[in-house]
Structure formats: structure tokens, C-alpha cells
Amino acid sequence: MRAACVQLSVRECDVFNNKRRALQLSSDAADSGADIIVLPELFLTGFCYDIEPERYPYPSLIPFRALSVDSGAILVGSIMSSSDRGTHNMGFCLAGAEMGFYSKTHPFGDEKKHFIPGGIIAPVKISGLSIGLEICYDMRFPEVARKLCESGADLLVTIAQFPAERIHHWRSLVIARAIENQIHHIACNACGSAGGSSMIVGPGGEVLAEAGDEECVIIADIDPGGRDRVRRSITCWEDRRPELY
């Protein structure tokens, strides 16, 4: 499986140019044979609370759905979503006409004034893959990734707008979530106003690809069987004692 992170410079409230660049870079990733293409958190709007959030089936995602149909790739990201309950930072996994969702569990700071926290932590099952999706601040809570993995995630995906001043936290957390769950971790951060350093990490903690602080696409080939081989080699997954934790 070929994985790609689209590290995008997300300009707040500039939907037109964010969409244009996201489509261009996602198309580049698809042309490189990517099977899963991951975009940053709120890649179309940034944290622009003046924009009206969308409702399902999310018209802004129509061209990304077309790209998925043409390429066969799964696309992952998040958008501002409106429901009868309020506004969500809604993570999505898109495979053609098929969509799955995860609402950010832990809004951070001012987000709490605008977003309703999600109430379900479960992998998104799409196109034969079980994706453990988490959004930015969620990664600081190891219980989220652990629950996703205990629920059968084939890989972890984190999408973020993680700030540059704490990018050393980002790198440590991305690698730690992979090591402690012995699973591939695709972590896509925004750049520009955020800190970049998107990473694709293997189940043994090996960094397979890493970005700098500029807009780019990073790609790595990941072996779906690697998770189980690492768990057999170092048996901490088998040796857990959750009845005591």
C-alpha cells in the first residue's frame, strides 16, 4: 500500500485557493500511485468560524470524490460540518461514493466555543480498510489511539494543524503512538501557520518519510502485514493486562 501526506499551507477562510492547492497536490499524489491520500485538519477553511459549515453530503468534497473515483485512492481529511446538534470538526474517509466519519473527540482551546466534541471513538471502515482516525489534539490522549487499535484498526491516521512552537511534541507523539500500538501511523500536519513535519512511521517506530516546513507531498510504501509481524516479534501487544489499567 502506498501512503501519501499532502502537507498543505492552509490559509484561513481562503476556501478557493485551499481547495485549488489541495486538489493539485492530491492529484500529484494519485499520479504517484498513492492508495491513501491524507490531507490536514480543516484543510479547506482553516479555523474560520465566519464560514457557514456544510451539511452532508458536503458539496465542497465533490471534486475530491471525483479524484477518488478516477484514481481508486482513499482520501482523508476534515471539514466544518453542521448537524442538528451543532458544528463538528468532522473527519472523513472518502472512497468514491463511500464515506465514513469521525468527529474530533477533544476540541482544543477556542475550538470548544465552536465545535461539539465527538462521542464515539471507532475506526472508519471503508474500501476494505479499517482506519483509526484521530484529529490533532486527540493525539495527546493515548487512550484514543489505543481504543482505535483495540477495535481493529489496520493503521492510524492523524490529521492536524499542530503549531510550530510545539513541533518537538508532535514528532515525539507521532512516533510514540506508532511504537506503543505497534502500527503504521500516517500523520499529516498543515504548514504555513502550522509547523509541518508530516510523517509516515512504521510499526517499529521507523520514520519512513518526513516533511520539512514547506508545502509538499510525502510518500511511503507500507506493508499491511508489518503490524502483525512486529507484534509477534515484540509481544507487548499480547502481554497487555488491561484488567489492571
Give 95's pLDDT tier (boundaries 50, 70, 90). very high
CB 106 within 8 A of CB 141: yes
Q: Is the peptide bond before 57 cis (omega within 30 degrees of 0)?
A: yes
Give 125's pLDDT tier (boundaries 50, 70, 90). very high
Give 209's pLDDT tier (boundaries 50, 70, 90). very high
What is the spatial distance between Cα 162 and Cα 239, in angstroms, rounded to a whole number?
Answer: 33
pLDDT higher than threshold 90 for residue 227: yes
- State the chain's maximal CA–CA distance in angstroms: 51
104 in active site: yes
Q: pLDDT tens digits, residue range 150-203?
A: 999 999 999 999 999 999 999 999 999 999 999 999 999 999 999 999 999 999
Mean pLDDT of 2-6: 98
pLDDT higher than threshold 90 for residue 10: yes
Of the residues 5, 54, 93, 104, only one is catalytic, namely 104
- Predicted pLDDT of residue 199: 98
Phi, psi of 5 (to 5 degrees): -110, 125
Mean pLDDT of 58-83: 97
Mean pLDDT of 4-11: 98
Q: pLDDT tens digits, residue range 97-119?
A: 999 999 999 999 999 999 999 99
Q: Look up residue 11 and give its amino acid.
A: R
Pairing verdict, β 36-38 and 216-221: unpaired
136 in active site: yes
125 in active site: no
- Predicted pLDDT of residue 245: 86
Of the residues 5, 93, 134, 136, only one is catalytic, namely 136
What is the spatial distance between Cα 225 and Cα 222, in angstroms, rounded to a whole number?
Answer: 9
pLDDT higher than threshold 90 for residue 130: yes
Give 134's pLDDT tier (boundaries 50, 70, 90). very high
